[in-house]
Amino acid sequence: MKELELKYGCNPNQKPARIYMEQGDIPIEVLNGRPGYINLLDAFNGYQLVKELKEATGLPAATSFKHVSPAGAAVGLPLNEVEKKIYWVKEDSLSPIASAYARARGADRMSSFGDFIALSDECDVDTAKLIKREVSDGVVAPSFTEEALNILKEKKKGNYCVIRIDPSYKPADIEHKMVYGVTFEQNRNNLHISRDMFKDIVTKNKNIPDNAVTDLLIAMITLKYTQSNSVCYCKDGQAIGIGAGQQSRIHCTRLAGQKADNWFLRQSPKVLNLPFKEGIGRPNRDNAIDVYIGTDSYEVLEDGAWERFFTERPEEFTLEEKREWLKKLTGVSLGSDAFFPFGDNIERAHRSGVSYIAEPGGSVRDDDVIATCDKYDIAMAFTGIRLFHH
């Protein structure tokens, strides 16, 4: 198949819309539903991300995409009991690819609402069952078991988008993009991200353990497919905070850091023990938790919103209590798609438990950035590589 007609483009008024190949066939097969323009942008970017994560780590990988940037990305490590609770996973055990998706979705569940999923490996029954109960637009994977496909076909009244992609497909080296009637041309970003990228450690602390190197791999590969400016916080094999598309890098660092903080605050006993009413769905639980851990949480809940979600008014989660809990977040890895121009980024990263950093280097203020890392005993590697993505 050389052409696939779409319902419309980015918006309903943008018709006609299609994807097509000038040479060869389109490397996908639509098994169910009807993908849209943005769905396919997410599918192709997301699959590249998980394919590279699998190649770099040797582990199954998943990502949850929204509006052409990942909301989460992870490799298939087992979930601990706390992670199961905060990701709403009730199963005793999950397959590696299902674990990868649960962790990718769980990083920033509010941003993942209505996501498009990409999987590096075959979609199995465990994964299909997780997907079926989430609000999602579609999934792309190299293959689907028959039972998993049947489960997914039941979703969204039979209209859930399921796409099989050819894992052997190799795109042309030169890519094109048209803006305002003008065609842009460039070589594809074929940069291979590997562990060797983190050998130039420029701080006094030269120790980046193997697990942190894996997290830096995940961060940098995630950034390769995130709209710039972007930074990514990672811990234990998953992104825990992604800041995408910000004009200022410090705003990026703050945004992603707040998401990382929220991820960790969800693990606090006060949140884990919130008295939810029976029948409150996952999206409403996620929204209520976000309000509860927000800076204005108690005021909002005091206005009566708590009665919608909880059997009783929750105990206040004070600013002091949040700060004390966040002090326990350590060992976080941080990647940046371009250099940090000021040490304020490091100051903010430190507040969210960052111990390891990878960034290109090359700023006129590199000395200030390095000195700020040394102040907090953070180990930082200069990669020499920029990863802008637009």
226 and 374 in a single domain? The answer is: yes
Q: Is residue 131 included in any domain, yes or no? A: yes
Q: Does 229 qualify as catalytic in the annotation?
A: yes
pLDDT one-digit tens code per residue, 150-189 = 999 999 999 999 999 999 999 999 999 999 999 999 999 9
The residue to which tokens 């060797």 are assigned: 196
Same-domain pairing of 144 and 283:
no
Residue 53 confidence (pLDDT)? 97
Give yes or no for a contact between 282 and 88, defined as CB atoms under 8 angstroms apart: yes
Do 89 and 210 share a domain, yes or no? no
197 neighbors 358 (Cβ within 8 angstroms): yes
pLDDT at 303: 61
Catalytic residue list contains 192 = no
The answer to whether residues 250 and 307 touch, using CB atoms and an 8 Å cutoff, is: no
Q: Does position 125 have pLDDT exceeding 70, yes or no?
A: yes
Q: Cβ of 65: how many Cβ atoms within 10 Å?
A: 32
> Distance (Å, rounded) from C-alpha 129 to C-alpha 117?
14
For residue 69, give the H/E element and its range.
Answer: strand 69-75
Q: Which among 51, 54, 66, 155 is annotated as catalytic?
A: 66
Domain count, the chain: 3
- Does residue 285 carry a pLDDT above 70? yes
Does residue 296 surpass a pLDDT of 80? no
Instruction: Judge whether 390 lies within some domain.
Output: no
Q: Do 143 and 156 fall within a single domain? A: yes
The amino acid occupying position 188 is: R
What does the pLDDT read at residue 327?
A: 96
Of the candidates 13, 61, 36, 43, the one whose C-alpha atom is nearest the C-alpha of residue 218 is 61
Residue 147: HSE in the Cβ half-sphere, 13 Å Cα cutoff: 5
Nearest C-alpha neighbor of 152 from the set 30, 51, 41: 30
Q: Is the pLDDT of residue 124 over 80?
A: yes
The closest of 214, 227, 259, 223 to 241, measured between CA atoms, is: 259
Pairing of strands 161-165, 136-141: parallel
Residue 94 parent element (H or E): none
Q: Is 321 domain-assigned?
A: no
pLDDT at 300 over 80: no
User: Which residues constitute the domain of residue 61?
Assistant: 3-170
What 3-state class would DSSP assign to 184? Answer: strand
Give the residue from 170, 198, 222 where a domain finishes: 170
At residue 190, the pLDDT reads: 92
Both tokens assigned to 145: 């078991």
Is residue 242, in this structure, part of any structural domain at all? yes
Calculate the average pLDDT of the chain: 93
- pLDDT of amino acid 313: 87
pLDDT score of 1: 81
The per-type count for the chain, helices as H runs and strands as E runs, is: 14, 15
Domain boundary among 155, 170, 185: 170
Residues 151 and 51 reside in one and the same domain: yes
pLDDT in tens, 211-244: 999 999 999 999 999 999 999 999 999 999 999 9
In this structure, are 153 and 248 located in the same domain?
no
pLDDT at 309: 87
Q: Residue 29: in which H helix or E strand, if any?
A: strand 28-32
Residue 388 lies in a domain: no
Residues 24 and 138 in one domain: yes
In the predicted structure, residue 294 carries a pLDDT above the cut 90 = no
Handedness of CA 74, 77, 79, 83 (dihedral sign): negative
Residues 79 and 143 both lie in one domain? yes
Mean pLDDT of 51-76: 96
Residue 68 sits in the same domain as residue 92: yes
Cβ neighbours of residue 198 closer than 8 Å, sequence gap 6 or more: 208, 213, 216, 358, 381, 383
What's 186's domain CATH number? Answer: 3.40.140.20
Task: Single out the residue in 123, 140, 170 at which a domain terminates.
Answer: 170
- Is 389 inside a domain boundary? no
Q: What pLDDT is attached to residue 308?
A: 83
> Catalytic pick from 39, 229, 262, 287?
229
Least confident of 63-77, 251-265, 296-310: 296-310
pLDDT of residue 235: 97
Active-site residue flag, 66: yes
Whether 201 is covered by a domain: the verdict is yes
Say yes or no: 237 and 143 in one domain.
no
Catalytic residue among 157, 192, 206, 390, which? 390
Task: State whether 359 and 279 are in the same domain.
Answer: no
Active-site position among 67, 129, 153, 389: 67
Co-location of 179 and 204 in the same domain: yes
- According to DSSP, the β-strands at 161-165 and 174-179 are unpaired
166 located within any domain: yes
Read off the pLDDT band of 301 (50, 70, 90): low
